[in-house]
């Protein structure tokens, strides 16, 4: 799948990206699946990247602390994220109460 994302035709890449995004929650924390999510981000397709940003926004802090998903979070931050996407992620992260955030940060 990774090779298809890197070398496939554009139509194939986007179709595979859609399947990966559909399974994002299980792939992002997987030792191998996180690479697939990172490769979708590398496609620099704004609509698909926005879907990924939206899906991880509410769990951003926890995901950033885990071994495999933190790689995806880093790739998101390095990608061409719009300022509105960063704001969306931060707002979704801080919608929860401070006690929950502190608990997640101390884990």
First and final C-alpha spacing in the chain: 33
Please tell me the least confidently modeled range out of 3-7, 21-25, 67-71: 3-7
Reading the block at residue 30, the tokens are 């997987």
Looking at residue 18, its pLDDT comes to: 97
- Whether the CB-CB separation of 104 and 74 falls below 8 Å is answered with no
Q: Where are the beta strands (DSSP E) in 37-80?
A: none
Q: Round to whole Å and give the CA distance between 97 and 84.
A: 22
Please state, in angstroms and rounded to a whole number, the distance separating the CA atoms of residues 28 and 65: 12
Give pLDDT, residue 99: 64
b/e per residue, 25-49, with b = 16+ CB within 10 A? Answer: eebbbeeebbbbbbbbbebebeebb
- Tens-place pLDDT, residues 25-57: 999 999 999 999 999 999 999 899 989 988 988
Q: Tell me how far apart the alpha carbons of residues 17 and 30 are, in angstroms, rounded to a whole number.
A: 16
Residue 15 clears pLDDT 70, i.e. is over it: yes
pTM, two decimal places = 0.77
Write the pLDDT tens digit of every residue in 49-100: 989 988 988 888 899 899 999 999 999 888 766 555 666 666 665 565 556 6
């Amino acid at each position: 799948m990774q090779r298809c994302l890197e070398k496939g035709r554009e139509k194939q890449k986007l179709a595979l990206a859609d399947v990966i995004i559909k399974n994002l929650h299980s792939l992002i924390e997987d030792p191998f699946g996180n690479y697939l999510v990172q490769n979708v981000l590398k496609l620099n397709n704004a609509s698909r990247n926005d879907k990924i940003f939206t899906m991880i926004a509410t769990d951003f802090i926890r995901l950033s602390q885990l071994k495999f998903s933190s790689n995806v979070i880093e790739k998101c931050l390095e990608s061409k994220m719009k300022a509105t996407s960063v704001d969306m992620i931060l707002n979704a992260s801080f919608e929860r109460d401070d006690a929950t955030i502190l608990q997640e940060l101390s884990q």
